Amino acid sequence: MDIHKYCLSPASCIGWLLLCTLVMAGCPSKTIQYPEEHDRLLRLDQALESLRSAYQRKDRSAFHSLLLPQDQMEELQRQAEMDFETFHAITLEFKIERVVIEKDDIDVFVNWQGNWKKDANDAGMRQRGHARLQWAGAASILLRGVEGDLPFGMKTKQLLSETPPPQTPLQ
């Protein structure tokens, strides 16, 4: 077997190297077609992460700062406060399923899962669900509404699940 038959000459190596360089240089870099919307989506992602992180850290002021001052948000804040007082440790994850943007309104559909522990030795209460988080704004994005099975308010959910059935009086 002649080994020189399968080796490349220096000229062919240079040719291949030049061809690869031209192909790589010719590949266009991906430019963002709508930079303002891209920036808005990045702010939305940051707002969602800030909400999750503030809740998990039990940071009342950071959690409250992400909410629009509305009645529904006051109830959400009250539910979160009860969780902060009840649970020693909270672990929460969000996975974005879909984002719908209409002018200044943004709907984010998330799947979430988490673990709520009453103390360090507690195995915790594992829950998961699906929620719609309604955000508003362009430069500053704030939570304006919520729907669905929310991760906030686990203390209330726990109380409802532990409530014994009503007893009928004996006759």
Per-residue pLDDT tens for 141-167?
999 999 999 999 998 877 766 656 566
Side-chain half-sphere CA neighbours of 80 within 13 A: 25
Q: Model confidence over 109-121: pLDDT tens digits?
A: 999 999 999 998 9
Check residues 8 and 94 and name the one with the higher pLDDT.
Answer: 94
- The pLDDT value recorded for residue 56 is 97
- The pLDDT value recorded for residue 2 is 55
CA-to-CA distance for 144 and 142, rounded, in angstroms? 6
- The pLDDT value recorded for residue 96 is 95
Mean confidence (pLDDT) of the chain: 85
| pLDDT, mean of residues 125-144 | 93
CB neighbour list of residue 132: distance below 8 Å, 6 or more residues apart: 107, 108, 109, 110, 146, 147, 148
Question: Letter for the amino acid at 89?
Answer: A
Of 156, 149, 101, 145, which is closest to residue 128 (Cα–Cα)? 149
**Res 13 pLDDT > 70:** no
**Res 136 pLDDT > 60:** yes
Side-chain half-sphere CA neighbours of 114 within 13 A: 25
Check residues 38 and 24 and name the one with the higher pLDDT.
Answer: 38
Phi, psi of 68 (to 5 degrees): -70, 145
Structure tokens at 81: 């406060």
Residue 167's alpha-carbon distances to 57, 153, 164, in angstroms, are: 40, 27, 9
Q: Model confidence over 33-82: pLDDT tens digits?
A: 777 888 889 999 999 999 999 999 999 999 999 999 888 899 999 999 99
Q: What are the structural domains of the chain?
A: 38-152 (3.10.450.50)
- The pLDDT value recorded for residue 159 is 74
* Parallel, antiparallel or unpaired: strands 125-136 and 105-117: antiparallel
